[in-house]
Amino acid sequence: MPLYPPLSPRQQFHLPVDALHSLYVEESGNPAGRPVIVLHGGPGGSCSPHLRRFFDPQHWRIILFDQRGAGRSRPSACLTANSTDDLIADMEKLRQHLGINRWMLFGGSWGATLALRYASQYPEKVSAMVLRGIFLCRQQDMDWLYRAGGASRVRPEAWAKFIAPIPESERDDPLHAWYRLLSQADGLQQQVLASIWAAWEAACSTVLPSEAVAEGFSRQSLAMALIESHYFVNQGFLQQWPMPPSQLTGIPGVIVHGRLDLVCPADQALALHQAWPDSRLNVVEGAGHSVAEAGIQAALLEAVAEMGRLGDRQGEGR
């Protein structure tokens, strides 16, 4: 099943959500279709035209937005008033602004974390979920990517470049060291550091090197480096929140995860599936983390179509 043809937004706008932040939002597809909101990764990533192509534009009302400080939202790379609870509140303001009763959540990596957090707070507003590259944001999950002994053992050359800017005395805790470096740097130095941060994530995101994926990380490197380090030194601002959540009963969904995912190892997908009784787990053999991987794309297309058919059978309102 191929991706749907490229699709231009029907409308694009900025939604003010507080005195400082304004979200970039776009809508595509059928204005009377079943609503789906797309949650990008990072935190600090951005929505992309590629993400519209998983949805039949005749069937779905496709909503994409850039989270606080990310992409085309304003102000860019801003850490002030930028936490997970802020993002959840933004989603609710957007849902109410668009006059939507219930919507499907489609998210990958950090976008999956955000979807789970939203669904745990507003289960009655969620019709279904399609989640990819599950990131539970536990300490062990962050340590896998940002401490020696995890992904560093699989991508040692890229890891060596990642820790090179860190003084040896701080290499036992690279994440906090990186947060300090990025916070103290400015101008060109900050951008150079952000590019190194992004290169490490790009190296872990695909099974085989991908220039296109690396270029995508490079374009948004500053916001991603600043916002990711800000979130992860604060444990994702998810204090005292059990992961995975226990409020998902009754919400149908599909979990798609690459067997060879180096960013988010596949045990996280199994843990979520075991705690979410109405989910189906699809572990894609030979695939990694990126949404650009062929096996991941095929599985997501299948999952979206499955949730669409289920909504039709159940008479889910649009």
Q: pLDDT tens digit string along 132-146?
A: 999 999 999 999 999
The three-state secondary structure class of 14 is: strand
Which two three-digit tokens encode residue 133? 């590259």
Residue 105 forms part of a structural domain: yes
Measured between alpha carbons, how far is 293 from 73 in angstroms, rounded to an integer? 27
Say whether pLDDT at 172 is over 70. Answer: yes
Task: Specify the pLDDT at position 317.
Answer: 53
Enclosing domain of residue 302: 11-138+237-313
Task: Express as a percent the part of the chain with pLDDT over 70.
Answer: 99
Q: What share of the chain is helix, strand, coil (3-state, %, to 5)?
A: 45, 15, 40
Residue that terminates a domain, selected from 207, 235, 263: 235
Catalytic sites, residue numbers: 109, 261, 289
Measured between alpha carbons, how far is 169 from 154 in angstroms, rounded to an integer? 23
Task: Specify the pLDDT at position 245.
Answer: 79
- pLDDT grade for 241, boundaries at 50, 70 and 90: confident
Do 252 and 220 belong together in one domain?
no
Residue that terminates a domain, selected from 200, 219, 235: 235
Q: Once rounded to an integer, what is the mean pLDDT over residues 230-243?
A: 90
Residue that terminates a domain, selected from 184, 212, 235: 235
Do 28 and 86 belong together in one domain?
yes
Say whether pLDDT at 168 is over 80. Answer: yes
- pLDDT grade for 246, boundaries at 50, 70 and 90: confident
Q: Once rounded to an integer, what is the mean pLDDT over residues 190-218?
A: 94
- pLDDT grade for 261, boundaries at 50, 70 and 90: very high
Total number of domains in the chain: 2
Residue 278 forms part of a structural domain: yes
Task: Specify the pLDDT at position 31.
Answer: 97
| This prediction's pTM | 0.96
CATH code of the domain covering residue 260: 3.40.50.1820
CA 189, distance to chain mean position in Å, is: 27
Task: Specify the pLDDT at position 316.
Answer: 64
Task: Specify the pLDDT at position 240.
Answer: 78
Do 72 and 165 belong together in one domain?
no
